[in-house]
Structure 1
Amino acid sequence: MSSESRPSAWVSLRIHWAHARGYQRLAYLVGAVLILTGLVHAAIWAVVGGPASGALSWRKPATFGISFGLTTATLGWVASYLPVRRGLGWALAGLLGASTAYEVAWVSLQHARGVPSHFNDATTLDESLFIVGAVAVAAAILVILATTVAAFTRTTAPVPMAWAIRSGLVALLGAQAVGVWMLMHGLALLDADANPATQSMSTYGAAGAMKFAHFVPMHAIQALAVIAGLLSLSGLTQRRQLHLVALAVAGYAGLFGVTLLRTGTGQPPFDPLSASTAGYLVAAGLLAAPAIAAVAGIYRRVVASRRET
């Protein structure tokens, strides 16, 4: 298909929406509301200012809204390639939407009240909200796990995109594993009488940033899917696309590995003088190379199409 006959991004989105199943639309709508919630908090933060760290930072409701919104919408999109029964699709989408919406609403509510959300047992209400939050995360993990199993056994996506989705879902499960690690670590600190209002509950050892180790794999699926999508437009053979997706997966795995290593040894995420910086650079290069190849392929196709006309 030439660049002139290919539909615009807006038209493509309208076509996708028209063909989306009802439960996918639910995931998209919930995701959009959560992202908007995060952006509103980010805008307020930009106006009023404040620190980027701490239990009462504006960063927390902003990043929770955007991150959970992206995850919800992405899982709805993944369902496009899965032959899911209507009833099961509605059940999973409803469970996911309720879980992620609760997480963002809870964090936003506690921030508005001026109290920490996580590990807060100061009152019966605070403790109850935290417990329900943990249950909500567990429910979301079940949905992610079910989606991952389906992606490995029943996906209808082209092979390069299929492996991007599978790898991204595995990374998303890895992010949940880090989240469980953070939960256990925080509860241990709470048992030692730590105060979540004044003490970081997600710092491991001297300076290990557990939140960063959670964030990196959380959004691998978006990065890998974008790369696979760009490669599908590049004119490269599917075999070549698959090799480049595998390269991107290796790069992202490297980023997660270095991040996890630094966190587990109590080191901050970045240190220019550390040997792990070389690991970051190699992993970033592996991740960037397929993206560059995809953009170059698309550019060549556009130039060739213009010459033909």
Structure 2
Amino acid sequence: MDTGQQHYLKSALPSPGRFHRPLLYVAGLMALTGAMAVVGLIADDRTLTNMPIWAKPLKFSISIGLYALTMAYLVPLLRKGRKAGWWLGTVIAVMLFIEMVVIVGQVFRGRPSHFNEATPFDAAMWATMGASITVMWLANLGVAIFLAWTSIGDRALTRGIRWGMGIGIGGLAVGYLMARQDTSHLENVAGAHSVGLDDGGPSMPLVGWSTVGGDLRIAHFVGIHAMQVLPLLALWLGSRAVKRARLADEGLRSRVVLVAALGYAGLTLLVLWQALRGESLIHPGATTLTAAGVLVLATGAGLLLAARGGGKPVAAEGSQQPVEVA
């Protein structure tokens, strides 16, 4: 990485001291929890719903850790509602901590953490998790609203953050569809990840996504991680602008991020639609393949259109407008 790229990224990222501390602490805790889960996978041969019992804590440690790091970066970017944003970030950190305590605690008990109402204690743990997720979602929405009124300085990065937050909120909301799945034929079960079959059937390694039916966790996963993918795309394009004259055009980068965001939103909706039809991700039917082909072609055409025009030359390496993070 040359000095121009370093300058851009330094201007785009808050200094370590400005990241939201409670969310950073949660991210650090997730690293420890993830390490514990890896040890558990090696040393503990118990299974739950046809998966190694420590697979869920490992998955959630990684996902929550990435989410907490992302929010720790985004909250300090706020200009309007900065104090309220800090408190919303703190609420998110606390709710994430509660969720992980329930997941790990239930693993130690050898009990499912999600949808489990087998005993009053299990039901209380599931209700606690559901409440924490709802509060976290509302706090996330609050941060997203404040970010919608915040200009980061670079239009492409601003657009990537806004779209990433919007799609991420939709991805989080897919969890509510899981809680509404009809499991009346099962005793003491209030929801499911799968569509068209019960949880615990044949699945992909580690992630546990169904290989024989629909699985709502896929859209949940894809949607949430728009919060990382789209801002990172904007940052990458900005860092490349010091070497590629066409990317020095902020408008071009912004258009590319917009097309990528629309394509990503389309992908999230596609895998959600596929799951709701009870179709496995790895066994798509003709309808799904056709829709995927249309999405790829539309996104490709959009990128070609976005790349037309612009391309202002760079006067000198690193001369582009820095991203102001204040």
TM-score range, shorter chain: 0.7 to 0.9
Structure 1 CA distance, aligned partners of 2:119 and 2:215? 28
Please say if residues 155 and 254 of structure 2, whose CA atoms lie closer than 8 Å, have aligned partners that are also in contact: yes
After the TM superposition, list the runs of 4 or more consecutive aligned residues in structure 1 that deviate by more than 3 angstroms: 4-15, 46-57, 84-87, 191-196, 272-275, 277-287
Structure 2 CA distance, aligned partners of 1:279 and 1:42? 38
Structure 2 CA distance, aligned partners of 1:251 and 1:53? 34
> C-alpha displacement at 1:192, in angstroms?
3.6
Please say if residues 107 and 117 of structure 1, whose CA atoms lie closer than 8 Å, have aligned partners that are also in contact: yes
Please say if residues 53 and 59 of structure 1, whose CA atoms lie closer than 8 Å, have aligned partners that are also in contact: no
Please say if residues 212 and 259 of structure 1, whose CA atoms lie closer than 8 Å, have aligned partners that are also in contact: yes
1:81-230 residue pairs with structure 2 within 5 A? 81-83=77-79, 87-185=83-181, 188-189=182-183, 191-194=184-187, 196=189, 201-206=192-197, 207-230=213-236
- Relative distance call for 1:14 and 1:245 in structure 2 (3 A) is closer
Please say if residues 35 and 67 of structure 1, whose CA atoms lie closer than 8 Å, have aligned partners that are also in contact: no
Consecutive unaligned residues of structure 1, counting only runs of 5 or more, are 294-300
Partner secondary structure for residue 278 of structure 2: coil
Please say if residues 254 and 280 of structure 1, whose CA atoms lie closer than 8 Å, have aligned partners that are also in contact: no
Please say if residues 28 and 72 of structure 1, whose CA atoms lie closer than 8 Å, have aligned partners that are also in contact: yes
CA deviations 1:117-158 (Å, max 9, x no partner) are 112222222111111111100110111110111121223342
Consecutive unaligned residues of structure 2, counting only runs of 5 or more, are 198-212, 242-246, 307-313, 319-326
Please say if residues 202 and 209 of structure 1, whose CA atoms lie closer than 8 Å, have aligned partners that are also in contact: yes
- Relative distance call for 1:282 and 1:62 in structure 2 (3 A) is farther
Please say if residues 85 and 142 of structure 2, whose CA atoms lie closer than 8 Å, have aligned partners that are also in contact: no
* Counterpart among 261, 267, 274 of residue 286 in structure 2: 274
Counterpart of 1:211, as a letter, is: R
How many pairs does the alignment contain? Answer: 285
Structure 1 CA distance, aligned partners of 2:286 and 2:180? 28
Partner secondary structure for residue 286 of structure 2: coil
Partner secondary structure for residue 233 of structure 1: helix
> C-alpha displacement at 1:269, in angstroms?
1.4
Please say if residues 178 and 216 of structure 2, whose CA atoms lie closer than 8 Å, have aligned partners that are also in contact: yes
TM-score by length of 1: 0.79
- Relative distance call for 1:224 and 1:87 in structure 2 (3 A) is closer
Does residue 234 (structure 1) correspond to residue 240 (structure 2)? The answer is yes
Does residue 259 (structure 1) correspond to residue 271 (structure 2)? The answer is yes
Of Structure 1 and Structure 2, which has the larger fraction of its residues in helix?
1
Does residue 34 (structure 1) correspond to residue 30 (structure 2)? The answer is yes
> C-alpha displacement at 1:9, in angstroms?
11
TM-score by length of 2: 0.75
- Relative distance call for 1:82 and 1:14 in structure 2 (3 A) is closer
Please say if residues 250 and 283 of structure 1, whose CA atoms lie closer than 8 Å, have aligned partners that are also in contact: no
Give the share of equivalent positions with the same residue, in percent.
24
Question: Which structure has the higher relative contact order (CA within 8 Å, separation 6+)?
Answer: 2
> C-alpha displacement at 1:174, in angstroms?
0.8
Q: CA RMSD in A?
A: 3.4
CA deviations 1:184-204 (Å, max 9, x no partner) are 21xx41x443465xx982111
- Relative distance call for 1:64 and 1:279 in structure 2 (3 A) is same
- Relative distance call for 1:243 and 1:43 in structure 2 (3 A) is farther
